[in-house]
Amino acid sequence: MYPFKKILCPTDFSEPSLCGLKMAKELATGHDTEIILLNVHKPIPHLPKPRQTASETTFDVSGYEQVIVEEAREQLRELQEQIIGTEITTQVHVHMGSADHEILAVAEEEQVDAICIATHGHTGLKKIVFGSVAQRVVRRAPCPVITVRRCD
């Protein structure tokens, strides 16, 4: 199983998740391992269409989501350049949906050997109420999950 051939590294661009990326790089270096960078955004809820004619001003939810995806993709490419470098093969994925669901879906689709995920991110109080994304991934992952608490 080790060395891993494919490592999935989800990131929300928080400092702890960057520690997870650094760990994934350490695991991949010198082993012909591919890293898959993943960023997941919650979709913007689409409101039902009003029964009366809308005003001239409307908000293009789909267009805004596309902007979010493109900006996240660019941020992932910057991380790839700054942290991983060119010696490790890297894929960049941006998905819309529930973070844990999308992480697990990509893990299965890409048949990754491991998931390297930070135990803390942009969750705040929600973590206390709903549990962390990392906890849900660890419980349901089809492969080993390496959890990273902080960089040393």
How many percent of the chain have pLDDT more than 70? Answer: 82
CB-based burial label for 13 (10 Å; 0-12, 13-18, 19+): middle
Report pLDDT for 129.
Answer: 39
- Phi and psi at 35, nearest 5°, equal -110, 130
What Å distances lie between residue 9 and 52, 104, 125, CA to CA?
Answer: 46, 11, 23
Q: Where are the alpha helices (DSSP H) in 1-151?
A: 15-28, 61-79, 99-110, 125-130, 133-140
Taking residues 38-47, report their average pLDDT.
84
3-class DSSP assignment, residue 62: helix
SS3 content of the chain, % helix, strand, coil (to 5): 40, 20, 40
Q: State pLDDT tens for residues 88-108.
A: 999 999 999 999 999 999 999
Report pLDDT for 50.
Answer: 58
User: Is the confidence at residue 135, as pLDDT, over 50?
Assistant: yes
Contact predicate 85/60, CB 8 Å: no
User: Is the confidence at residue 128, as pLDDT, over 80?
Assistant: no
Residue 69 confidence class, pLDDT cut points 50, 70, 90: very high
Question: Domain residues of the chain, as ranges?
Answer: 9-44+61-131
Report pLDDT for 105.
Answer: 98
Within 8 A by CB and 6+ apart from 72, the residues are: 39, 41, 94
Report pLDDT for 21.
Answer: 94
Report pLDDT for 115.
Answer: 97
User: Is the confidence at residue 55, as pLDDT, over 50?
Assistant: yes
Peptide bond into 45 cis (omega under 30): no
Report pLDDT for 49.
Answer: 60
Query: 9-44+61-131 sits in which CATH class?
Result: alpha beta
Start-to-end CA distance of the chain, whole Å, equals: 26
